[in-house]
Structure 1
C-alpha cells in the first residue's frame, strides 16, 4: 500500500528557517522576479476569473507558446501539453500515476529530491545513480545503463541538473533515451532551468525524442515567475497526459487563470526573448562574481555551473554544511544559504546568484567569507 509522503531535508530546512529575517541571501535559485505592473498593459480588465472555459489542458495560446519555447512545434501537438501548478505538480502527476509498489524508479543524485520522496511513498524500488564531483558532476551514462534494467518503470532526470548546473548535451540525452527505450522505461526530464545555458546550446526536449519521453518545465526559474505556479508537462502518449489530467482534476482541479494569462504573455516569443536576454546577462554577471569569490576563498571549491543559477560548493575539510549554514544565518552574519544536506551532501553548501539586488549578494558573500574564517 502507498505510504505517507515523508518530508525531505530540503523542505524541512526551508520550513524551519522561513521565519528568520536574513539581511542577505547567497543561494537564490531564480532570476529577478518581474512585478505585476510589468504585465498590466497586456491584461484585459474585463477578464473573467473563472477557468478559461476553452480547455481543461490549459489556455490554447499558452500551450502553443510552451511548444515553441521547447522547440517542439510540429513535433508535438497542443494536446500533448498539460498546464500544471509549476513543474513540481507536473512531476507529481507523473510519479503518482505511473508508479506502483515494487516498480523500479531510477534517478540521479545529487538531483531534484522530489522523485525519490514520492517514489518511496509509492513503495517503488528507488535506485540512485550517483554523480561524482571529481567528474565535474557529469551524469555517468555507464552507471545509468547498469541501473536501468529491463522492466524499469521510470527514469527521472533534471537537465540542466538541479542543483549542480551540469548539462547533458544532445548526444548524452540521445544515449539516455536509448537506455530508457531498451528497458521499456518512461524517461522524464525536468527542464526548469532551460534557457539559462552558459556552455553550449539548449538540449533538445525529450518529449520530441522518445515516444515515452516526458518533458516538464515552468516559468519559475529563468523568468523569475515562481509565484504564478504555472508549469507544464509534454508527452506524445495520450494516455499519460489523460492520466495526469485525471489526477489533477482530483487535486488542483483547474488552473490558476491569472497564472495562465500572465504566463501566456510572458512566453510570447518577442517578450520571452527579451526577458531571457536580461536574465542571461544578470546570471552571467552573477556567476562571474561567484566564481571569482570561490577561487579567492581559502578552502572553498566548486564546479562552476554550465547552466542555471545555482551550484554546489565543497567546504573546507571537516566543516559540516548544516552547522555552517545555521551559524551563517544567526547573528552577526544573518545570511541565508541552503546546506548540502538537502542533497545528501553534508560537506557542501548551495551557492546561487539569482534574485537580483534584493538578495544583497555581495554583502552575503562578505559575511560568508567572514563566517568561514571564524569557523576554520
Structure 2
C-alpha cells in the first residue's frame, strides 16, 4: 500500500515558503557550524564509504554504545549506523511487520510508526496518554492492548511530543508485557540526554533480547543535517535484516555524516555539546514556563525531558487556525498545531533552536494573537 502523508509533515511542507521571523516550537538544540569540526577532519579522507564496515565506523558505534550506557552489555555488531533515527525506525518497521500483524503505539507520539505500519497492512492499536494524568503512559491500558497478535510495541522515551519520561521501573514492566507475548519493543530515544528531572532512563536494548533502541545526533546535539542515527539490538538476525534492507534503499551511510558525528560523540566533545544544549534548554524552558503561566488562554505540563511539550488552548481556539494566522503578517511566527499529533486543541511549544529561533519574540507575537482571538 502507498505510504500516506501524516499531518506533521503536511504542516511542515506548507510552512516552508512562509519565511517566518520567529519559531515557537523548535525541536532541536542550536546547531553547531561546520567550522567547529574542521580541525578534527582529515582533508585526505576519502569520500567513498568508510571501507571498513557496512554497519558504520567502528569508532562511531563505540561512542553510540557509550552514550547509551550499553558498552558493557552490547557488542559493536549490535549497532547499525543509519540516516537518522527515522531510517532506523523505518528499517525495523519495514522488516518486522507483515499484513495482519498488530503494532501497539502511544498517542500522542511520533507518527512515523502508525503511518508505515498502516501502509504495510498491519493493524495499529493506539494507547492514549492522557493530559489529566500528566501525559503518563497508562501501563494497564498498554497491557490490555497487547495480545498474542502483537508483533511490535513502538514508544518514544522521552515521549515525543509531551516530554514525559518512562523510568526504570516502568520500562521493566513494559519489557515484562512485551516478553509475555514474544513481541518486539522499539523505543526511540532521540531526546535522551536532555532530562530536566532525574537521570537518563536505561536503554531497552540492554534490558530485553527483543529490545531495540534507536537514536541520533539530531536533537540533543543539534546535528539534524548530518542525517546520522543508529539502531541497537542484541538480536543478530534483526540487525542483519536491517542491513539487507538498507542495502536496497540508501545502501551505505553518508561518510561525512559519520565522520562529523564520530567527532561530536567523542567523550569530551559529547559532554561539552550536551552541557551547552542542557544549559540553553533549561534557561529557555524556565522562560517558556513563566510565559505560559502568564497566559489566560493557554496552559501546559512542562516537559520532564527534551525540548518540546504540548500547550493546551482555551475554549474556542483551534490550533490549525491559530498556526495559519501566526504565519501571516504581522506575526510572521511558526508553530506546529496539535493536529499533527491528533490533538487540534493543542499546539507544540519548543525551547530549542538557539538565538536564531527568536523564541521570546515569537512568544510575544503569540501572546498578541491569543489576545486578539475572538471570545
Give the TM-score band, short-chain normalised.
Answer: over 0.9
Q: Which residue of 2 aligns with 1:103?
A: 101
Q: Quote the offset at 1:283 in angstroms.
A: 0.4
Deviations 1:222-265 (A, max 9, x none): 00000000000000000000000000001100000000000000
Matched, 1:361 2:353: no
Structure 1 CA distance, aligned partners of 2:196 and 2:149?
36
Q: Quote the offset at 1:210 in angstroms.
A: 0.1
Q: Quote the offset at 1:112 in angstroms.
A: 0.2
Q: Quote the offset at 1:151 in angstroms.
A: 3.1
2:150 is paired with a residue whose SS is coil
Given that residues 151 and 184 in structure 1 are in contact (C-alpha distance below 8 angstroms), is that contact kept between their aligned partners in structure 2? no
Structure 2 CA distance, aligned partners of 1:356 and 1:74?
35
Q: Which residue of 2 aligns with 1:303?
A: 301
Q: How does 1:116-127 map to 2 (within 5 A)?
A: 116-127=114-125
Given that residues 33 and 223 in structure 1 are in contact (C-alpha distance below 8 angstroms), is that contact kept between their aligned partners in structure 2? yes
Q: Quote the offset at 1:121 in angstroms.
A: 0.2
Deviations 1:98-146 (A, max 9, x none): 0000000000000000000001000101000000000000000000000
Matched, 1:70 2:83: no
Q: How many residues align?
A: 374
Of 191, 216, 222, the residue aligned with 1:218 is: 216
Deviations 1:165-202 (A, max 9, x none): 00001110111111100011000000000000001100
1:242 is paired with a residue whose SS is helix
Of 334, 337, 341, the residue aligned with 1:336 is: 334
Q: Which residue of 1 aligns with 2:170?
A: 172
Structure 1 CA distance, aligned partners of 2:207 and 2:146?
18
Structure 1 CA distance, aligned partners of 2:268 and 2:357?
28
Q: Which residue of 1 aligns with 2:139?
A: 141
Deviations 1:15-49 (A, max 9, x none): 11111111100000000000000000100000000
Structure 2 CA distance, aligned partners of 1:192 and 1:371?
32
Runs of 4+ in 1 over 4 A off after TM superposition: none
Q: TM-score normalized by structure 1?
A: 0.99
Which stretches in structure 2 are left out of the alignment for 5+ residues?
none
1:93 is paired with a residue whose SS is helix
Structure 2 CA distance, aligned partners of 1:299 and 1:336?
18
Q: TM-score normalized by structure 2?
A: 0.99
Q: Which residue of 1 aligns with 2:274?
A: 276
Q: Which residue of 2 aligns with 1:350?
A: 348
Q: Which moved more, 1:81-90 or 1:145-154?
A: 145-154
Q: Which residue of 1 aligns with 2:17?
A: 19
1:197 is paired with a residue whose SS is coil
Structure 1 CA distance, aligned partners of 2:117 and 2:317?
31
Structure 1 CA distance, aligned partners of 2:19 and 2:190?
27
Structure 1 CA distance, aligned partners of 2:297 and 2:369?
13
Structure 1 CA distance, aligned partners of 2:68 and 2:271?
13
Of 292, 295, 320, the residue aligned with 1:294 is: 292
Structure 1 CA distance, aligned partners of 2:41 and 2:182?
45
